[in-house]
Amino acid sequence: MKITMVGTGYVGLVTGTCFAQMGNTVTCVDVDSQKIDGLKKGKLPIYEPGLEAMVIENFRLETLKFTTSLKEALAASEVCFIAVGTPMGEDGSADLQYVLQVAREIGQWMTRPLVVVDKSTVPVGTAEKVRRTIAEQLAGRGIALDFWVVSNPEFLKEGAAIDDFMKPDRVVVGADDPRPLAIMRELYKPFTFSHDRFVEMDVKSAEMTKYAANAMLATKISFMNEIANICERVGADVNKVRVGIGSDSRIGYSFIYPGCGYGGSCFPKDVRALEKTAKDFGYTPRLLTAVEAINFDQKRVLGHKIERRFGAALEGKTFAVWGLAFKPETDDLREASALTLIHELLDRGALVRAYDPKAMDEARKHHFANEPRISFCASKYEAVQGADALILVTEWKEFRSPDFGEIAKNLKTKVVFDGRNQYSRELLRELGFEYYAIGVGQ
Active site residues: 266
CA distances 98 to 28, 34, 103, 210, 318, Å, are 16, 19, 9, 19, 42
CA 389 to chain centre: 29
* Interatomic CA distance for residues 1 and 18, integer angstroms: 13
d(CA 428, CA 424): 6
d(CA 262, CA 277): 21
Instruction: Give every CB contact of residue 125 below 8 A, 6+ residues apart in sequence.
Output: 204, 207
- If one counts every other C-beta atom within 10 angstroms of the C-beta of residue 161, the result is 26
What are the residues whose beta carbons fall under 8 Å from the beta carbon of 82, sequence distance 6 or more?
6, 7, 99, 102, 103, 116, 117, 118, 119, 120, 130
- CA pair distance 292, 224, nearest whole angstrom: 13
3-state secondary structure of 352: strand
Name the CA dihedral angle for 232, 238, 244, 246, rounded to a multiple of 10 degrees: 130
What backbone phi and psi angles, to 5 degrees, belong to 396? -60, 150
Measured CA to CA, the distance from residue 405 to residue 33 in angstroms comes to: 49
Residue 316: what residue type? G
Residue pair 322/346 in contact by the 8 Å Cβ criterion? no
Residue type, 395: E
Strand partners, 318: 351
Say if CB 345 and CB 319 are below 8 A apart.
yes
